Amino acid sequence: MSNQTATHYDAIVIGSGQAGGPLASALARSGRRTAIIEEAHVGGTCINEGCTPTKTMIAGARVAYLARRGPDYGVHTGEVAIDLPRVRQRKRDIVESFRAGSERRIKQTKGLDLIRGHAAFDGANSLTVKGDDGARTLTADLVFVNTGARPATPQIDGIDSVPYLTSTSIMELADVPDHLIVLGGGYVGLEFAQMFRRFGSRVTVVHRGGHLLSREDNDVADAVADVLREDEIEILLGTTARRVHLHADRIALTVATGSGERTMTGSHLLAAVGRTPNTDRLNLSAAGVATDERGYIPVNDHLETNVPGIFALGDVNGGPAFTHISYDDFRIIKTYVVDGEHATTTGRLVPYTVFTDPQLGRVGLTEREARQRYRSVRVAKMPMSSVARALEVDESRGFLKAVVDANTDRILGCAILGIEGGELMAMIEIAMMGNLAYGRLRDGIFAHPTLAESLNNLFATLDG
């Protein structure tokens, strides 16, 4: 602990992600003297390493894809060339703009101090922050941990001996990889796989499961795999990475398959095998805060840890690792702590979109989950090739799928794999939030020709 006199705050927020930043401002506006501690960049994973930069680069990859498809629409252009440094600079510019805006809002909030440095607990109400200007001790009645997570290291022999990429470092490449090998068939790996295929790389995805996207129903995951294979991405399912080494200037990866081992070589290796919570340097034991076997901080439905006065928000608490869930964590804490009203995580919907092209929008229960929980369910399913708007713009890959409680006609969940699948999913989510029976969407009047009117025909399939 520092020998300096401790500075006392009413509340301290560790981390300035999509939960921490808004929460710190709300606490300060409520009259509490508040500090927010940030070791790296303001804005957290989303702005700096996640949603903002990846979706910006995906947009560039889609332009390349559409340019190559120009003749399909009767539009002929010249050769498509990728200027990856320009793609990268556009990404950097947008990240810097978003980051600067977040930092400006924090600095302009009266009663809120932004403190740069690394924070670690000395006790339940005490922290030491080490920064460029030395160490200082802070105390507070309330502490909120919003330190997020980082890419996990693959547990394969030789990984430390090769220059593998993560979801952060791959976005700083100056040249398009000749052959990118992607470890992991989750949404992060698949988004980068398709992105770099469209930039011109040969791409191989290595996934140990029998289907991609393990959260999804098999028909959804298999349809995503079909799309990626159509885009000439090699998908290796039921394949486990065993060891890796450098061979000349290439990366040699040995994998185990159902028919034995094989070794492939590539120019680059992307590790997209999950994430690790940033709790290992917080000295949580000094505060008595419990963690699970993976290092995440368990919380109750008010986002409280096992120690009174200490809360955990965002990815670090092991909940769904999405920006919008982190922001909902902020709303729950604001309602519960700042406003003194009731709010919990119980029963909240968890929507998400996988930004492959076409997008996969998901909310609520999968068909598999619904059949486990409910006595009788019905499934509405329709190909995107039956949607007029999708045909008009020649983007008809994928399908729409919704699961309905047969007893109440309430919508339990949906998966929309198709053009603007995330936006269509959100329409169904709104109906779920309002507890509407599926017939309200079947009979709704939606403008023609829009993607929205596909919901008429999707739910009409239940009437046979």
**pLDDT at residue 222, rounded to an integer:** 98
> Do residues 258 and 278 touch, judged by C-beta distance below 8 A?
no
List the structure tokens of 178: 């000749």
- In order, the DSSP letters of 122-180 are EETTEEEEEETTEEEEEEEEEEEE---EEEPPP--BTGGGS--B-TTGGGG-SS--SEE
Task: Name the band, by pLDDT with cuts 50, 70 and 90, for residue 2.
Answer: very low
Residue 1 has pLDDT above 90, yes or no: no
> Do residues 30 and 11 touch, judged by C-beta distance below 8 A?
no
**pLDDT at residue 419, rounded to an integer:** 98
Say which DSSP state 6 is in: P
Residue 125 has pLDDT above 70, yes or no: yes
**How much is the average pLDDT of 182-190?**
97
Question: Which residues make Cβ contacts (< 8 Å) with residue 342, sequence separation at least 6?
Answer: 335, 336
Catalytic (active site) residue 448 = yes
Which residue in the block uniquely carries the two structure tokens 């919003």?
146
Letter for the amino acid at 211? Answer: H
Of all helices (H) and strands (E), which one includes residue 219?
helix 218-230
For the four alpha carbons of 150, 154, 159 and 162, in that order, the dihedral sign comes to negative
List the structure tokens of 390: 């999708």
**pLDDT at residue 375, rounded to an integer:** 87
Q: What is the mean pLDDT of the chain?
A: 96
Q: Largest Cα–Cα distance of the chain, in whole Å?
A: 76
Q: What share of the chain has pLDDT > 90, as a percent?
A: 97
Q: Identify the active-site residue in 179, 247, 342, 448.
A: 448
Angstrom distance (rounded) from CA 67 to CA 62: 8
Per-residue pLDDT tens for 222-232?
Answer: 999 999 999 99
**How much is the average pLDDT of 327-356?**
97
Residue 262 has pLDDT above 90, yes or no: yes
List the structure tokens of 275: 């994430």
Angle formed by the axes of helices 187-199 and 218-230, nearest 10°: 20
Angle formed by the axes of helices 84-107 and 51-68, nearest 10°: 150
Characterize the bridge pairing of strands 399-405 and 411-418: antiparallel
Supply the pTM of this predicted model: 0.95
- Cα-flanking dihedrals φ and ψ of residue 418, to 5°? 175, 175
Residue 243 has pLDDT above 70, yes or no: yes
Per-residue pLDDT tens for 56-98?
Answer: 999 999 999 999 999 999 999 899 999 999 999 999 999 999 9
**pLDDT at residue 4, rounded to an integer:** 63
Q: Hey, how many other C-beta atoms are within 10 angstroms of the C-beta on 129?
A: 23
**pLDDT at residue 51, rounded to an integer:** 95
Reduced 3-state DSSP string for 237-278: CCCEEEEEEEECCEEEEEEEECCEEEEEEECEEEECCCEEEC
Question: Which residues make Cβ contacts (< 8 Å) with residue 314, sequence separation at least 6?
Answer: 15, 17, 18, 19, 20, 44, 146, 148, 325, 326, 329
